[in-house]
Amino acid sequence: MIDCYFWTTPNGYKVLVFLEEASIPYRIIPINISKGEQFDLKFLQISPNNKIPVVVDHEPKVASGSISIFESGAILLYLAEKTAQFIPTKLAARTEVLKWLFWQVGGLGPMLGQNQHFSQYTSEKIPYAIRRYVNETKRLFKVLNNKLAHCQYICGEYSIADMACYPWVLKHPFLELQIDDFPYLKRWLDELATRPAIIRAYEKGTAINITPTVTEESKKFLFGP
């Protein structure tokens, strides 16, 4: 059994999408980051960086006991290796998936997060910061759009690279850009939105929470005092 410590944010959805795609038994343990539950001492033992998602595998293949994993990229890679799904075995194809997985966790996620932060969440509007992160988002969307001009999925076959990018690209209405300017990316987004596993993942998430994560009340937990 896999425990998935989850909240309804892009990084949380990446893992739900994988678990649904792979059809492995799991249960969701909600960690309401709007209420500061990510700072509970028990949670910090498995998530020292006080963030979701975290996965605890109670039946790891190699170790006795449980394995806990934080960082969504590490989780996707672990689950892909455990189940031998959604990552190629041949070195060149596998490396291609890892390149785009690292591109997502090191670039797409953080830059889009800063975009939302400065264009929506700060009371003080800082034009330079908004311009910087909106431009960076557009640049990253263009990179992915160019990649998808030549293939159906980011790395040819559907993989953890797609699962990592999808929940972030889905945030496009809040990122101060027009998705129609990125036609190949839009085609990919629309196609993934029809995948039964992705539909189930988002249904399960919305059954847990439909309220915005960032509110005036939650800012003190999410952005510090």
Ligand X SMILES: N[C@@H](CCC(=O)N[C@@H](CS)C(=O)NCC(=O)O)C(=O)O
Binding-site ranges for ligand X (CB under 6 A): 9-11, 33, 38, 50-53, 71-73, 105, 109, 221-222
- Min dist CB 92 to ligand X, Å, is 25
- The residue among 10 and 205 lying less far from ligand X, judged by its C-beta, is 10
- The residue among 32 and 184 lying less far from ligand X, judged by its C-beta, is 32
- The residue among 179 and 222 lying less far from ligand X, judged by its C-beta, is 222
- Min dist CB 211 to ligand X, Å, is 15
- Min dist CB 208 to ligand X, Å, is 14
- Min dist CB 112 to ligand X, Å, is 10
- The residue among 72 and 115 lying less far from ligand X, judged by its C-beta, is 72
As given in the structure block, the two tokens for residue 1 are 């059994």
